[in-house]
A and B are shown apart, each in its own frame.
Chain A
Amino acid sequence: DAGVIQSPRHEVTEMGQEVTLRCKPISGHNSLFWYRQTMMRGLELLIYFNNNVPIDDSGMPEDRFSAKMPNASFSTLKIQPSEPRDSAVYFCASSFRDYPGYFGPGTRLTVT
Protein backbone atom coordinates (compact mmCIF):
# COMPACT_ATOMS: atom_id res chain seq x y z
CA ASP A 1 0.00 0.00 0.00
CA ALA A 2 1.29 3.47 -0.84
CA GLY A 3 0.15 4.92 2.47
CA VAL A 4 -1.69 8.20 2.84
CA ILE A 5 -0.96 10.41 -0.17
CA GLN A 6 -1.01 14.17 0.02
CA SER A 7 -0.51 16.77 -2.65
CA PRO A 8 1.12 19.11 -3.15
CA ARG A 9 4.05 18.54 -0.77
CA HIS A 10 4.92 22.21 -0.79
CA GLU A 11 2.77 25.21 -1.62
CA VAL A 12 3.81 28.83 -1.68
CA THR A 13 1.09 31.36 -2.35
CA GLU A 14 0.31 35.00 -1.85
CA MET A 15 -2.11 36.32 0.71
CA GLY A 16 -5.65 36.35 -0.61
CA GLN A 17 -5.22 33.43 -2.95
CA GLU A 18 -7.22 30.22 -2.76
CA VAL A 19 -5.32 27.11 -1.66
CA THR A 20 -6.52 23.53 -2.09
CA LEU A 21 -4.81 20.65 -0.35
CA ARG A 22 -5.56 17.08 -1.39
CA CYS A 23 -5.52 13.75 0.37
CA LYS A 24 -5.95 10.14 -0.65
CA PRO A 25 -6.40 7.91 2.41
CA ILE A 26 -5.28 4.31 2.70
CA SER A 27 -7.70 2.08 0.82
CA GLY A 28 -10.36 0.62 3.10
CA HIS A 29 -9.90 3.12 5.91
CA ASN A 30 -13.18 4.75 6.87
CA SER A 31 -11.87 7.58 9.07
CA LEU A 32 -10.00 10.61 7.76
CA PHE A 33 -8.47 13.44 9.74
CA TRP A 34 -6.96 16.82 8.78
CA TYR A 35 -4.37 18.23 11.20
CA ARG A 36 -2.31 21.40 11.20
CA GLN A 37 1.15 21.60 12.78
CA THR A 38 2.89 24.82 13.77
CA MET A 39 5.74 25.57 16.14
CA MET A 40 3.54 27.79 18.27
CA ARG A 41 0.41 25.65 18.53
CA GLY A 42 1.71 22.14 17.88
CA LEU A 43 -0.66 19.62 16.29
CA GLU A 44 -4.30 20.63 16.02
CA LEU A 45 -7.20 18.62 14.67
CA LEU A 46 -9.07 20.60 12.04
CA ILE A 47 -11.74 18.12 10.99
CA TYR A 48 -12.58 14.43 11.28
CA PHE A 49 -14.64 12.44 8.74
CA ASN A 50 -16.11 9.01 9.27
CA ASN A 51 -17.58 7.18 6.27
CA ASN A 52 -17.21 10.43 4.29
CA VAL A 53 -19.37 12.38 6.78
CA PRO A 54 -17.86 15.22 8.86
CA ILE A 55 -18.09 14.19 12.51
CA ASP A 56 -16.12 16.91 14.25
CA ASP A 57 -15.23 20.20 12.56
CA SER A 58 -14.83 22.22 15.74
CA GLY A 59 -11.16 22.74 14.98
CA MET A 60 -11.71 24.50 11.68
CA PRO A 61 -10.37 27.99 12.41
CA GLU A 62 -12.97 30.06 10.61
CA ASP A 63 -15.16 30.27 7.55
CA ARG A 64 -12.14 30.67 5.33
CA PHE A 65 -11.46 26.96 5.82
CA SER A 66 -13.60 24.24 4.28
CA ALA A 67 -13.15 20.51 3.85
CA LYS A 68 -14.91 17.97 1.70
CA MET A 69 -14.82 14.21 1.30
CA PRO A 70 -16.85 13.39 -1.82
CA ASN A 71 -15.90 9.70 -1.69
CA ALA A 72 -13.94 7.22 0.38
CA SER A 73 -10.73 7.76 -1.54
CA PHE A 74 -10.41 11.54 -1.70
CA SER A 75 -10.60 14.59 0.49
CA THR A 76 -9.77 18.27 0.07
CA LEU A 77 -9.01 21.09 2.46
CA LYS A 78 -9.55 24.53 1.00
CA ILE A 79 -8.48 27.91 2.35
CA GLN A 80 -10.04 30.95 0.71
CA PRO A 81 -8.73 33.58 1.07
CA SER A 82 -5.39 32.52 2.51
CA GLU A 83 -3.53 34.60 5.11
CA PRO A 84 0.08 34.51 6.33
CA ARG A 85 -1.04 33.05 9.67
CA ASP A 86 -2.26 29.97 7.78
CA SER A 87 1.36 29.02 7.09
CA ALA A 88 1.87 25.57 8.60
CA VAL A 89 2.28 21.91 7.75
CA TYR A 90 -1.07 20.31 7.03
CA PHE A 91 -1.36 16.58 7.61
CA CYS A 92 -4.00 14.16 6.47
CA ALA A 93 -4.38 10.90 8.40
CA SER A 94 -6.57 7.85 8.00
CA SER A 95 -7.61 4.88 10.08
CA PHE A 96 -10.09 2.07 10.63
CA ARG A 97 -10.72 3.59 14.05
CA ASP A 98 -11.81 6.93 15.45
CA TYR A 99 -8.22 7.97 16.07
CA PRO A 100 -5.56 8.54 13.41
CA GLY A 101 -3.33 5.59 12.66
CA TYR A 102 -1.35 6.65 9.62
CA PHE A 103 -0.41 10.18 8.64
CA GLY A 104 0.57 11.38 5.22
CA PRO A 105 3.85 13.21 4.63
CA GLY A 106 2.15 16.59 4.94
CA THR A 107 1.82 19.70 2.83
CA ARG A 108 4.04 22.58 3.85
CA LEU A 109 2.05 25.76 3.14
CA THR A 110 3.69 29.17 3.05
CA VAL A 111 1.50 32.21 2.58
CA THR A 112 3.41 35.41 1.84
Chain B
Amino acid sequence: AQSVTQLGSHVSVSEGALVLLRCNYSSSVPPYLFWYVQYPNQGLQLLLKYTSAATLVKGINGFEAEFKKSETSFHLTKPSAHMSDAAEYFCAVSYNQGGKLIFGQGTELSVKP
Protein backbone atom coordinates (compact mmCIF):
# COMPACT_ATOMS: atom_id res chain seq x y z
CA ALA B 1 0.00 0.00 0.00
CA GLN B 2 1.12 3.53 -0.71
CA SER B 3 2.24 5.29 2.44
CA VAL B 4 4.39 8.03 3.86
CA THR B 5 6.19 7.86 7.19
CA GLN B 6 7.42 10.78 9.21
CA LEU B 7 10.05 9.71 11.72
CA GLY B 8 9.52 11.44 15.05
CA SER B 9 6.23 12.95 16.08
CA HIS B 10 8.06 15.65 18.05
CA VAL B 11 11.35 17.36 17.24
CA SER B 12 12.93 20.03 19.44
CA VAL B 13 15.79 22.27 18.37
CA SER B 14 17.43 25.38 19.73
CA GLU B 15 17.06 28.70 17.94
CA GLY B 16 19.77 28.95 15.30
CA ALA B 17 20.29 25.19 15.07
CA LEU B 18 19.73 22.99 12.04
CA VAL B 19 16.21 21.73 11.48
CA LEU B 20 15.87 18.21 10.04
CA LEU B 21 12.45 16.62 9.67
CA ARG B 22 12.40 13.14 8.18
CA CYS B 23 10.01 11.72 5.62
CA ASN B 24 10.12 8.37 3.85
CA TYR B 25 7.67 7.07 1.30
CA SER B 26 6.82 3.69 -0.10
CA SER B 27 6.61 3.61 -3.84
CA SER B 28 7.38 1.55 -6.90
CA VAL B 29 6.86 4.53 -9.19
CA PRO B 30 8.24 8.06 -9.02
CA PRO B 31 6.05 10.06 -6.67
CA TYR B 32 5.13 13.69 -6.28
CA LEU B 33 6.19 14.86 -2.83
CA PHE B 34 5.08 17.78 -0.69
CA TRP B 35 5.77 19.43 2.63
CA TYR B 36 3.10 21.48 4.40
CA VAL B 37 3.24 23.54 7.59
CA GLN B 38 0.38 24.03 10.03
CA TYR B 39 0.57 26.78 12.63
CA PRO B 40 -1.64 26.46 15.73
CA ASN B 41 -5.34 26.84 14.99
CA GLN B 42 -4.69 27.44 11.29
CA GLY B 43 -4.95 25.48 8.08
CA LEU B 44 -2.02 23.94 6.28
CA GLN B 45 0.21 25.93 3.97
CA LEU B 46 2.27 24.46 1.16
CA LEU B 47 6.00 24.81 1.92
CA LEU B 48 7.43 23.13 -1.15
CA LYS B 49 6.85 20.37 -3.67
CA TYR B 50 8.88 17.91 -5.74
CA THR B 51 7.47 17.02 -9.13
CA SER B 52 10.37 15.22 -10.86
CA ALA B 53 12.44 18.27 -11.74
CA ALA B 54 15.47 19.20 -9.62
CA THR B 55 16.03 16.83 -6.70
CA LEU B 56 16.82 19.70 -4.32
CA VAL B 57 13.71 21.77 -3.86
CA LYS B 58 13.67 25.19 -2.22
CA GLY B 59 10.54 26.39 -0.49
CA ILE B 60 9.29 29.31 1.50
CA ASN B 61 10.71 30.56 4.80
CA GLY B 62 14.20 29.18 4.07
CA PHE B 63 13.18 25.53 4.00
CA GLU B 64 14.41 23.04 1.44
CA ALA B 65 14.06 19.32 0.83
CA GLU B 66 16.04 16.79 -1.14
CA PHE B 67 14.51 13.89 -3.04
CA LYS B 68 16.66 10.77 -2.70
CA LYS B 69 15.26 7.94 -4.75
CA SER B 70 17.76 5.38 -3.44
CA GLU B 71 16.63 6.09 0.11
CA THR B 72 12.97 6.76 -0.75
CA SER B 73 13.30 9.89 1.34
CA PHE B 74 12.30 13.54 1.15
CA HIS B 75 13.68 15.11 4.31
CA LEU B 76 12.98 18.76 5.13
CA THR B 77 15.81 20.98 6.34
CA LYS B 78 16.49 24.54 7.36
CA PRO B 79 20.00 25.70 8.27
CA SER B 80 19.01 27.93 11.17
CA ALA B 81 15.80 27.57 13.16
CA HIS B 82 13.78 30.59 14.13
CA MET B 83 11.21 30.79 16.91
CA SER B 84 8.52 31.41 14.29
CA ASP B 85 9.23 27.99 12.75
CA ALA B 86 7.48 26.27 15.66
CA ALA B 87 4.57 24.46 14.05
CA GLU B 88 3.46 21.05 12.82
CA TYR B 89 4.92 19.84 9.56
CA PHE B 90 3.30 17.31 7.24
CA CYS B 91 4.90 15.33 4.45
CA ALA B 92 2.57 14.15 1.68
CA VAL B 93 2.89 11.98 -1.41
CA SER B 94 0.90 11.56 -4.59
CA TYR B 95 1.57 8.89 -7.16
CA ASN B 96 -0.06 10.49 -10.16
CA GLN B 97 -0.84 14.01 -11.19
CA GLY B 98 -4.33 14.78 -10.02
CA GLY B 99 -4.22 11.90 -7.60
CA LYS B 100 -5.04 11.87 -3.96
CA LEU B 101 -2.41 13.16 -1.54
CA ILE B 102 -1.49 10.76 1.25
CA PHE B 103 -0.35 12.66 4.32
CA GLY B 104 2.05 11.55 7.01
CA GLN B 105 1.04 11.80 10.63
CA GLY B 106 2.92 15.05 11.13
CA THR B 107 5.96 16.19 13.12
CA GLU B 108 5.62 18.90 15.71
CA LEU B 109 8.64 21.18 15.74
CA SER B 110 9.50 23.08 18.91
CA VAL B 111 12.16 25.80 18.92
CA LYS B 112 13.84 26.64 22.20
CA PRO B 113 15.31 30.10 22.82
Cross-chain contact of A103 among B41, B43, B97, B105 (Cβ < 8 A): B43
Chain B residues within 8 Å of chain A by Cβ, number: 21
B44 contacts which of A50, A58, A91 (Cβ < 8 Å)?
A91
Whole-angstrom CA separation of A9 from B90 in the bound complex: 22
* Contact pick for B49, options A55, A99, A103, A104, CB 8 Å: A99
Contact present for B103 and A100 (CB under 8 Å)? no
The count of A-to-B residue pairs whose CB atoms sit within 8 angstroms is 49
| Residues of the B chain whose Cβ atoms lie less than 8 Å from the Cβ of A105 | 41-43
User: Which of A12-20, A41-49, A66-74, A78-86 makes up part of the contact surface?
Assistant: A41-49
Interface of B toward A, CB cutoff 8 Å:
32, 34, 36, 41-46, 49, 90, 94, 97-101, 103-106
The interface size bin for chain A is 20 to 34
Q: Provide the bound-state CA to CA distance between A99 and B98, in Å.
A: 7
B43:A4 contact, CB within 8 angstroms: yes
B-chain residues with CB within 8 Å of residue A101 when the two chains form the complex: 46
B48 to chain A, nearest CB (A): 11
| Minimum C-beta distance from A4 to chain B (A) | 7
**Residue in A43, A56, A105 with the greatest tally of chain B CB atoms within 10 Å:** A43
Chain B residue, CB-CB nearest to A106: B43
- When C-beta atoms are compared, the residue in chain A nearest to B106 turns out to be A42
